[in-house]
A and B are shown apart, each in its own frame.
Chain A
Amino acid sequence: MKILVCISKAPDTTSKIAFTNNNSAFDENGVQYIVNPYDEWYALVRALEIKETSGANVTIITVGTAADEAIMRKALAIGADEAVRVDAEPTDAFMVASEISNYAKTQGFDLVLTGKETINFNGAQLGGMIAEGLNSPYISIASKLDVTGTMLTLEREITGGVEVVEVSLPAVVSCAKGMAEQRIPNMRGIMAARTKPLHVLAPTVTEALTSYVTFASTPAKSGVKLIDPNNMDELVSLLHNEAKVI
């Protein structure tokens, strides 16, 4: 079985979110990048569990620049077998998805996993776009994934509940909490990652369908209004008359 896991970088959650160039770009100054948590904790670790129980080859792919190799090595240290980097600055989801599906088409993967969304752009677009590019079924926001032969059984989030579904491989799945537990790479993994193959491929598409014109920080709260714990009638009255939410 061949599994492809899409790995994206994301700013460490404690990073300061600021913009530069007339608010047209994210200010990377002093920003520490991590592996996007959904990609690492859920998609990658579940792929490794499948490898451990039923045997699989796990390849990770990132569309990005040489600077992204640090987070790719982390994914290799956790246990992926090999890595592919498409050497291009991501411009939009369509461009990234096209690169990934163009690569995947040539390799015959049984299963392609993405994270539920990236924590910086929160688009949740990639999985569906890759699935369309590969003409594969897509199971979004899955919290459980089991493989039996060529069949997948999954639980996925729907509005107000969870759906248990079944699909045959090949398929694309976006992974959310519940699927696996975070793994910390050990020293052996870190050493092994240094010599694992990391292939760099030239991009095949350049076209983007969308772009960010500007960014703006969320306006800060004007300051909290403190209410006496013995006067909950006042809080209710403020919520009704001032905030108008009840």
Chain B
Amino acid sequence: MKNLVYINGNGHLNKAAFEVVTYAKKLGGEVTVLASGKMDSSLLSSLGAYGATEVVINRGITGNDDQQIAAWIATKTTGVDNIVFSHDFQGKAIAPRLSVRLKAGLIAGAVSLPEADGSVKVNVFSGKAFGFVKAHSAQRIISLLPNSIAPEESGTSCPVAEITEEMGAPTVRVLSVKKPEGAIPLPEAEMVVSAGRGLKGPEHWGMIESLANSLGAATACSRPVADIGWRPHHEHVGQTGVAIRPNLYIAVGISGAIQHLAGVNGSKVIVVVNTDAEAPFFKAADYGVVGDAFEVIPKLTEAIHKFKAAQ
């Protein structure tokens, strides 16, 4: 079996890269990682530990242009059985292109390894159900939902080949990049602390940030909170916002409307803090605290500090 994995070779090696390499390794056989960008070869060679047989980085592609990247990947697919992407902004753009180019079935949003019958489990209905998808083509493209499998280190480093294949000028020109300072990107976060209208006003978010900081978690919010402008739009989670699936989701002062749940119910463990014992969110929760956030959250933050100090 021959597997290809694409990762973004700009910035740092993120968790998504370790996940896709681990996934490809578990499919069995060789794993060739294709990367584009400026990343140092010594960094890339560490992907060997997660199961990469070799890494090939194309220095001729420096941006995020999916047309160029898909065209380049297509030249490396002879004899390849599976091509694995992360279901992130790049995977969502490159994988569909490659599917059309190669006439290879795309399994988008995979959450686990293939079943015995060759079908792959994917997330559907915004987390309310799973589907099992089969590709009918000889080659198969899989884009893996972030936080679906745990990265596993087993081997050592692997060889890295640096090549320069020019793919022409990118059609999409990047003018600037805006990154919120220091914040943990929501889709990648393993822990998320989120708050809703129950907090009454933006001036009360300090305690949510303190709780998030105590855990090393990202912050999020319900839609009305972003709509009124209490919090930035990129924090809005739910059906019409960002969909997340962290290990831990703490929801404070959020009622748990179905549209909110649609974006968060893939979380492994959900903690709900709400004054109303009848709030629908409790039905989707693993742990619940019926109480006033203004009292409970400072206490919880303190308890976490105490726990961390004792570790």
CB–CB A209/B99 < 8 A: yes
Main SS of chain B's interface residues?
Answer: mixed
Indicate if the CB atoms of B173 and A138 lie closer than 8 Å: no
Stretch from B39-47, B120-128, B198-206 at the A interface: B120-128
Q: Is the CB of A213 within 8 A of B134?
A: yes
Interface residues on B, range: 35 or more
Binding stretch for chain A, among B29-37, B48-56, B156-164, B284-292: B284-292
Q: Are B247 and A160 neighbours in the complex by a CB distance under 8 Å?
A: no
Segment from B19-27, B76-84, B88-96 that makes contact with A:
B88-96
Q: Are A137 and B284 in contact (CB under 8 A)?
A: no
Which residues in B have their C-beta under 8 angstroms from that of A224?
Answer: 272, 282-283, 285-288
Docked Cα-Cα span, A5 to B177, in Å, equals: 27
Cβ contact within 8 Å between A210 and B107: yes
Task: Give the Cβ gap from A78 to chain B, nearest Cβ, in Å.
Answer: 17
Interface membership of chain A positions 81-92, coded 1 if the CB is closer than 8 angstroms to chain B and 0 otherwise: 000000000001
Interface SS of chain A: mixed
Q: In residues 125-175 of chain B, which contact A (Cβ within 8 Å)?
A: 125-137, 171-175
Instruction: Please tell me which one of the listed residues B100, B172, B247, B258 contacts residue A137 in the complex, with CB atoms under 8 A apart.
Output: B172
Report chain B residues within 8 Å CB of A217.
128-130
Complex Cα–Cα for A72 and B126 (A): 23
- The chain A residue sitting closest to B146, CB to CB, is A159
Q: Give a binary string over A204-229; 1 marks a CB under 8 Å from any B CB, 0 the rest.
A: 00001111111111100100111111
Select A164's contact among B8, B16, B97, B178, beta carbons within 8 Å: B178
Q: Which of chain A's residues have a CB closer than 8 A to the CB of B239?
A: 13, 37, 119
Given contacts A208-B136, A224-B282, whether A123 and B191 have CB atoms under 8 Å apart is no
Q: Which of A147-167 contact B (CB under 8 A)?
A: 153, 156-167
- Pick from A37, A157, A237: contact of B89, CB under 8 Å: A157
Assess whether A97 is interfacial by the CB under 8 Å rule: yes
Docked-complex contact A178 and B233, CB < 8 angstroms: yes
Q: A132-B70, A210-B133, A224-B287 are in contact. Are A165 and B174 (CB under 8 A)?
A: yes
Q: Would B172 and A229 count as touching, CB distance under 8 A?
A: no
Q: Once bound together, how far apart are the Cα atoms of A99 and B178, in whole Å?
A: 36
Chain A nearest CB: distance from B211 CB in Å? 11
- How many Å lie between the Cα of A160 and that of B235 in the bound state? 11
Task: Give the chain A neighbours of B70 by CB distance below 8 A.
Answer: 132
In contact, B135 and A209 (Cβ under 8 angstroms): yes
Measured CB to CB, the closest approach of chain B to A223, in angstroms, equals: 9
Could you say which of B96, B134, B171, B287 contacts A125, with CB atoms under 8 Å apart? B96
Chain A residues bordering chain B, tally (CB within 8 A): 79
* Chain B residues with CB below 8 A from A138, complex form: 66-67, 93, 97
- A242 and B178 CA atoms in complex are apart in Å by 39
A128-B97, A210-B107, A225-B287 given; A235·B271 CB < 8 A: yes
A189 within 8 A of B: no
Say whether A164 contacts B177, CB under 8 Å: yes
Q: Name 27 interchain pairs, CB-CB below 8 A, sorted by A.
A: A13-B259, A37-B240, A94-B100, A129-B100, A132-B96, A132-B99, A138-B97, A140-B89, A160-B179, A160-B180, A160-B183, A160-B188, A161-B180, A162-B179, A164-B177, A177-B240, A178-B233, A209-B99, A213-B119, A218-B130, A221-B270, A226-B288, A229-B299, A233-B307, A235-B287, A239-B248, A245-B268
Q: A127-B93, A236-B303 are in contact. List 19 more A-B contacts (CB 8 A).
A: A120-B125, A122-B125, A124-B87, A127-B96, A138-B66, A140-B66, A140-B92, A158-B177, A159-B90, A160-B179, A163-B178, A210-B135, A213-B133, A221-B286, A224-B288, A226-B290, A229-B296, A232-B289, A233-B307
